[in-house]
Amino acid sequence: MAFCSGCGVQVPEGSTLCLACTAKASSATVQRQTSSGLTDNIAGLLCYSPVGLIADIVFLVAEPYNRNRFIRFHAFQSLFTGVAVIGLAIVLGLIGMALAMIPIVGWIIDFLLWSAFVLGNLILWVIMMIKAYQMQSPRLPVIGDMAEKQASASA
């Protein structure tokens, strides 16, 4: 099933013209719906959502999602980003332990570091959710290339 990217109305299979808004839809903007009723952009968005880990695993093992390159890319990129974030959090925790030895200034620096880390993560995940919803596949440095290799090799 295909849907118009302009108005969201169902477009007849094989057609590039939306009868509701008469907008020409290229193959890149027509969204395909899987048999479960979940469109590709929603599946991509779910990869970066708070239930991302569960969604990533489901999309990588369940049919028909595991055959869709767009969904596979976002699932792998989300998984790899999550692992990198956990690694950075461990490093930041070790730095925080060292800074805790400095009475007040160390605590303030540690608080500022953690605040920047959490805010940066929140911004990153929200931007990636928006990009996936818009059917875009931005590659994060290093992680994006690894995800692309995995998505291409497994497809």
**What is the domain range of residue 27?**
1-32
Residue 8 and residue 58 in one domain: no
| 70-97 core/surface letters (b: 16 or more CB in 10 A; e: else) | bbbbbbbbbbbbbeeeeeeeeebeeebe
Residue 44 CB neighbour total at 10 angstroms: 28
Residue 10 and residue 61 in one domain: no
Residue 4 and residue 53 in one domain: no
Residue 68 and residue 129 in one domain: yes
Q: Is 31 helix (H, G, I), strand (E, B) or coil?
A: strand
pLDDT for position 92? 96
Report yes or no on whether pTM surpasses 0.75: no
Decide: 75 and 47 in contact? Cβ < 8 Å. yes
Decide: 59 and 65 in contact? Cβ < 8 Å. yes
Residue 2 and residue 77 in one domain: no
Locate tokens 């991509």: which residue?
44
- pLDDT (tens digit, 9 = 90+) per residue, 132-155? 999 988 999 999 899 999 888 865
